[in-house]
A = this chain, B = another copy of it.
């Protein structure tokens, strides 16, 4: 396997200077037509390709690459974000290096280091649940940085969030409007940012309706669908609830499993999922605008890369309440 041809090879083959080839390759105009033809021919003959890595180390050079750290690509929420980011970036000449932290802080930190060493032009990061090293200890200069899905304090970083609280509030309000008075909250630990927000929305909706909060019908230990199912199970058996707000996908699925045994209750889940369409009635959900969030993240970093230096801001992306039937008694 011989080595890849370089600009020098092209220059020699075309009988011109290195710089002229560089000009040609970079699409500069001031270049003799005859020479251009010779160069084009040599490029084709040799199968020459630019070496972007080499170009990127020059002063002012860029890798035309974005770094992305998410939790886990197998999760449709993250793969949706990744797809949106990659699509937006690709249309503008950027490639995306995406890596999964598996929600581990240590792995997240390793990936941050690695991406910085790779000199990606910007970083889009979903902070892991298990928190990583403090960003304030990051050596400067930091490339444009966006936190996605969960906020973190770091001067100069933009933040993009779903309207977790507002979405939960509207869902619970809808359940109440349909007659529910004792709405169960089924979710994960409140140490998780999104859970805190959704729980806050739940509380707001209860307050709006003048209902009291009953801690006994709030489950924050539903880490798996099975745990969610048994939580709903227990609450239904003691018949102390008349509706369910499932604060994430796993909770929604758990509720569905419990319903198989005990019949259904009005239900709204947070975050859409494919199976939601295939139950009877179909499951109503608070739908997050994933592609908007991803697009926005990519847009922000690319804008910063092209010089925009507006102040870093927190963007709250609205959610949509998708009513499909399961919210009714």
Contact = CB atoms under 8 A, between A and B. Distances in A.
Contact of A279 (B74, B115, B278): B278
Interface stretch (A46-54, A188-196, A199-207, A230-238): A46-54
A141 B90 contact: no
Nearest to A107: B90
A97 B97 contact: yes
A96 interface: yes
| A interface bracket (residues with beta carbon within 8 Å of B) | 35 or more
B1 A141 contact: yes
A130 to B, nearest CB: 17
Contacts of A139: 46-49
A74 B65 contact: no
Given A1-B141, A100-B90, A277-B275, A73 B65 contact: no
User: How many copies altogether?
Assistant: 2
A98 interface: yes
A95 B97 contact: yes
Interface string A33-67: 00000000000001111111110110100010100
Contacts of A279: 278
B49 A117 contact: yes
A325 interface: no
A268 interface: no
B74 A63 contact: no
B87 A82 contact: no
A86 interface: yes
A86 B79 CA distance: 13
A3 interface: yes
A224 interface: no
A76 interface: yes
A256 interface: yes
A88 to B, nearest CB: 12
Given A3-B141, A73-B82, A74-B80, A53 B49 contact: no
